[in-house]
Amino acid sequence: MSEIKLVLEQAIAQGGTTLKDFSQTDGKPGYFAQELQVYGRSGEPCRLCGNEIKEMKIGQRNTFFCDACQS
C-alpha cells in the first residue's frame, strides 16, 4: 500500500484533521493533527532527521517541510 493511502486511512480513522474550524458531522473535532510530522512545526526539529522544519508561503498558503527529508 502506498504511503499516501496509508496516511489517508489513518486520518479518516481518527476523524480527520482539525486545524482551525473543521469538525465532523457530529460536531466533534478530528484528532489526526496530533500525528502531523511537519505542519505547524516551523523552527522545530524534524522527527526523522533532526533538521529544522522550514515554512514558506506559496500562493497565499503556508507550507511546511524538512528540506533534508523532503528534497
| Domain co-membership, 27 together with 51 | no
In angstroms, rounded to a whole number, what is the distance separating the alpha carbons of residues 5 and 11?
Answer: 10
pLDDT at 15 over 80: no
| Total structural domains within the chain | 2
Read off the amino acid at residue 38.
V
- pLDDT, residue 32, reads 63
pLDDT, tens digit, 9 for 90 and up, residues 22-65: 566 777 666 666 667 777 789 999 988 999 999 999 998 888 89
15/48: higher pLDDT: 48
Residues 30 and 51 in one domain: no
| pTM to 2 decimal places | 0.58
Are 28 and 50 contained in the same domain? no
Residues 23 and 52 in one domain: no
Which residue intervals of the chain are DSSP H helices? 3-13
